[in-house]
Amino acid sequence: MDAAYQQGYQAAWNDARELVDESGYFPPEPEEVLELYGEITGINEINKTIAFQAEPYSDNPFADTSSLLRTVAVNESTLIMKMVQKDLDEFLEEQQEYDALIAGLGPEEELPEPPTSYYTEVVGFEELEPGQSISAASLTDIKSAEEYTASQINIFIVETPEEEEGPATEEFMLETE
């Protein structure tokens, strides 16, 4: 009886997956994955590896995301970048300056690099910490690899502005006491 149940369940699962795939609602699952995003769950400083809980690489609920826990090795050629988000006002000012600059360029002139929303800094393995949001890239397909050596790791730091205590905050605190 268990085998018949399992067979029926698998047939229904396959039919549902086929309907979702044919609907066009979700983009097709990528054939190759070279970079995953997620969170560091552990670090082995001796072996220079990190345990990494990757986010799904597809929005399709039927995509094969069986193992999203990966072990990522770091070697001497792995580039580790710390990317700290810029203040929004600063980034918008840089973007306006860039827009003004390219508006004045002629058709034959080469476009300069656009501004980025992050400051970047090359850092070492010691900067990696559990809980950090990262991307870990490879030069080879890592779609189903449970372990791989990273060619580049980006650490994403989003600093939230601290609340300034002022009249509105003080008034709220008095009301809640």
Q: Return phi, psi of residue 99, to 5°.
A: -60, -40
User: Residue 174: exposed, middle, or buried by beta-carbon count in 10 A (0-12, 13-18, 19+)?
Assistant: exposed
Question: Do the beta carbons of residue 154 and residue 135 sit within 8 Å?
Answer: yes
Domain assignment present for residue 50? The answer is yes
Cβ atoms within 10 Å of 52's Cβ, excluding its own: 24
Judged against a pLDDT cut of 60, whether residue 3 lies above it is answered with: yes
* Single-letter amino acid code for the residue at 158: V
Domain assignment present for residue 108? The answer is yes
Question: At 143, is the secondary structure helix, strand, or coil?
Answer: coil
* Single-letter amino acid code for the residue at 68: L
The pLDDT tens digits for 130-173 are: 999 999 999 999 988 899 999 999 999 987 666 555 555 454 44
The pLDDT tens digits for 106-137 are: 888 888 899 999 999 999 999 999 999 999 99
The DSSP element (H or E) to which 169 belongs, if any, is: helix 167-176
Judged against a pLDDT cut of 70, whether residue 1 lies above it is answered with: no
Domain assignment present for residue 169? The answer is no
Q: How far apart are the C-alpha atoms of 119 and 121, rounded to whole Å?
A: 7
Q: Which domain holds residue 120?
A: 31-160
Domain assignment present for residue 177? The answer is no
Domain assignment present for residue 9? The answer is no
Domain assignment present for residue 12? The answer is no
Domain assignment present for residue 26? The answer is no
Question: At 36, is the secondary structure helix, strand, or coil?
Answer: strand
Domain assignment present for residue 166? The answer is no
Number of domains in the chain: 1
Q: How far apart are the C-alpha atoms of 138 and 149, rounded to whole Å?
A: 7
The pLDDT tens digits for 30-67 are: 889 999 999 999 999 999 999 999 888 777 777 766 66
The pLDDT tens digits for 9-24 are: 888 888 887 887 778 7
Q: How far apart are the C-alpha atoms of 112 and 115, rounded to whole Å?
A: 9
Q: Output Rg (C-alpha) for the chain, integer angstroms.
A: 23
Q: How far is CA 168 from CA 164, 172, 173, 175, in A?
A: 10, 6, 9, 11
What the block records as the tokens of 113 is 């690099």
